[in-house]
């Protein structure tokens, strides 16, 4: 089996139905988030790069057909029409790092109906999870108010691959480093780390542990000071760093207790020892709320280490996302159900200064002073340009963040910008709605 089978069963049953009915005309599906998570003023587009990798490799093999047949309890021969199906469609998407708002398409897939159907589950899972984590990490960046952040997500989130993803996404929004060695090597992210409490406990004394660690690692070191008594640990670390001449570039790390109070006392101890260059790193289940509180209280913390809460997007671990058919065979379609109504036709997002966005039709001319967000990133199943880089994504993020209104930047009670709908999109939506409602069978809340 391949990753093709990482899908939900109803995708398979629908794709098979389309193939048997010879419904192979182009279909456009739009992936968007209906509403921002509570407490969020924006999202950060992410997950596009691995999504394009998946689509470029997508092909239904014989082992996949067998897996589908087994899941359905049907003979393999009945699933044979799916064999050899690959993705040769088009993708238009918001590049990674751009800020996005509710109701704006993150990407649109145009392909034959069976192709566009079968790729849904994997695409939605990739893009939505990574967009949620990137937004959480971006809020930590805002909370830190210019202080450095490093991620230490890997050990306590869902699986090792999720830790690798989280490290990449944290770097995308400006984190200074990661504890994940594979992420550091794969993505060129500076690596960061110290020691575990067990390292201290395995030596006869805290000072012996610090000195042994320093001997093993020439140059700047980071010493964990809260294994026993934090204040005494700071004093011991100061003595070792001063004796060994390891001040500049070195740090102490505090992971427990009242981080603000302990940081104040640690700063005083380090300064008194002439170690003003030694930084203070604080960790311990921090997220944007904890970081914001420490910054607000003036804690002398130089680097915040954030972990599992960011890696799982705690507080908003999923997005209210939809992957909806908006056009089939040149015919705009929509859903009418009042709670989950959609707008028809392929779309574009036109961004003006201050994230004043307008959602319009894909074939509209950009309004004056705006730029289109979605661009064609795949055509004929092939990328239209080389893989994106973290540096490029980070630059886009920083540019959009600088334009984000102050009310949307708030950690507590943010107010998100609301995109407008273009006149052409509004008119088309009304026309399609009336067309559906005028059908002999009646619309009454059910669209195509």
Please tell me the least confidently modeled range out of 83-92, 105-114, 188-197.
188-197
The pLDDT value given to residue 338: 67
The pLDDT value given to residue 355: 95
For tokens 């930084």, name the residue.
279
Q: Which residues contact 422 (CB under 8 A, 6 or more apart)?
A: 350, 358, 359, 360, 361, 364, 367
Report the top-level CATH class of 145-311: alpha beta
Please tell me the least confidently modeled range out of 246-255, 335-344, 367-376.
335-344
pLDDT at 446 over 50: no
pLDDT digits (tens, 9 = 90+) for 197-235: 999 999 999 999 999 999 999 889 999 999 999 999 999
Do the Cβ atoms of 28 and 90 come closer than 8 Å? no
- Distances in Å between the Cα of 210 and the Cα atoms of 195, 203, 243 are 10, 9, 12
The pLDDT value given to residue 442: 52
Three-class HEC string of the chain: CCHHHCCCHHHHHHHHHHHHCCCCCEEEEEEEECCCCCCCCCEECCCHHHHHHHHHHCECCHHHHHHHHHHHCCCHHHHHHHCCCECCCEEEECCCCCEECCCCEEEEEEEEHHHHHHCHHHHHHHHHHHHHHHHHHHHHHHHHCCCEEEECCCCCCCCHHHHHHHHHHHHHCCCCEECCHHHHHHHCCCECCCCCHHHHHCCCCHHHHHHHHHHHCCCCCEEECCCCCHHHHHHHHHHHHHHHCCCCCCEEEECCCCHHHHHHHHHHHHHHCCCCCCEEEEEEEECHHHHHHHHHCCCCCCEEEECHHHHCCCCCCCCCEEEEEEEECCEECCCCCHHHCCCCCCEEEEEECCCEEEEEECCCCCCCCCEECCEEEEECCEECCCCCCHHHHHHHHHHHHHHCCHHHHCCCCCCCCCCEECHHHHHHHHHHHHHHHCCCCCCCCCCC
pLDDT at 179 over 90: yes
137, 142, 147, 153: CA torsion to nearest 10: -10
Alpha carbons 292 and 296: distance in angstroms, whole number: 6
Would you place residue 157 in the very low, low, confident or very high pLDDT band (cuts 50, 70, 90)? confident
pLDDT digits (tens, 9 = 90+) for 228-281: 999 999 999 999 999 999 988 999 999 999 999 999 999 999 999 999 999 999
Share of the chain above pLDDT 70, in %: 98
CATH superfamily of 3-133+316-437: nicotinate phosphoribosyltransferase (3.20.140.10)
Would you place residue 445 in the very low, low, confident or very high pLDDT band (cuts 50, 70, 90)? very low
Task: Provide the residue ranges of all domains of the chain, joining segments of one domain with +.
Answer: 3-133+316-437, 145-311
The pLDDT value given to residue 257: 93
The pLDDT value given to residue 448: 37
pLDDT at 443 over 70: no
pLDDT digits (tens, 9 = 90+) for 118-128: 999 999 999 99
């Amino acid at each position: 089996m391949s990753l093709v089978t990482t899908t939900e069963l109803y995708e398979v049953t629908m794709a098979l139905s389309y193939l048997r009915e010879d419904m192979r005309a182009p279909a456009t599906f739009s992936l968007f988030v209906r509403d921002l998570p509570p407490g969020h003023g924006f999202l950060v587009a992410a997950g596009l790069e691995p999504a394009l990798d998946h689509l470029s490799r997508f092909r239904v093999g014989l082992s996949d057909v067998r897996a589908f047949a087994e899941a359905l309890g049907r003979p393999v021969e009945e699933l044979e029409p799916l064999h050899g199906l690959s993705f040769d469609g088009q993708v238009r998407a918001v590049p990674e790092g751009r800020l996005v708002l509710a109701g704006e398409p993150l990407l649109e897939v145009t392909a034959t109906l069976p192709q566009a159907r079968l790729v849904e589950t994997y695409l939605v899972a990739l893009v939505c999870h990574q967009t949620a984590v990137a937004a959480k990490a971006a809020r930590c960046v805002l909370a830190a108010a210019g202080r450095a952040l490093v991620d230490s997500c890997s050990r306590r989130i869902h699986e090792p691959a999720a830790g690798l993803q989280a490290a990449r996404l944290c770097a995308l929004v400006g984190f200074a480093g990661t504890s994940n060695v594979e992420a550091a090597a794969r993505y060129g992210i500076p690596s960061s780390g110290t020691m575990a409490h067990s390292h201290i406990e395995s030596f006869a004394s805290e000072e012996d542990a610090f000195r042994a660690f320093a001997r093993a690692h020439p140059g700047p070191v980071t010493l964990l000071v809260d294994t026993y008594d934090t204040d005494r640990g700071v004093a011991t670390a100061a003595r070792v760093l001063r004796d060994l001449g390891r001040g500049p570039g070195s740090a102490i790390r505090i992971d427990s207790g009242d981080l603000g109070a302990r940081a104040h006392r640690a700063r005083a101890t380090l300064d008194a020892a002439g170690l003003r260059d030694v930084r203070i790193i604080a960790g311990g289940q921090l997220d944007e709320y904890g970081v914001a509180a420490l910054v607000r209280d003036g804690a002398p913390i130089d680097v915040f280490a954030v972990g599992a809460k960011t890696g799982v997007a705690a507080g908003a671990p999923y997005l209210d996302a939809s992957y909806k058919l908006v056009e089939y065979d040149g015919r705009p379609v929509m859903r009418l159900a009042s709670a989950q109504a959609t707008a028809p036709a392929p779309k574009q997002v036109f961004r003006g200064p201050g994230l004043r966005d307008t959602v319009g039709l894909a074939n509209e001319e950009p309004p004056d002073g705006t730029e289109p967000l979605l661009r064609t990133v795949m055509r004929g199943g092939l990328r239209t340009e080389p893989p994106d880089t973290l540096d490029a994504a980070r630059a886009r993020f920083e540019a959009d963040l600088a334009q984000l209104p102050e009310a949307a930047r708030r950690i507590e009670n943010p107010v998100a910008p609301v995109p407008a709908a273009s006149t052409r999109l509004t008119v088309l939506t009304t026309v399609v709605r009336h067309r559906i409602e005028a059908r002999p069978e009646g619309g009454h809340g059910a669209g195509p």
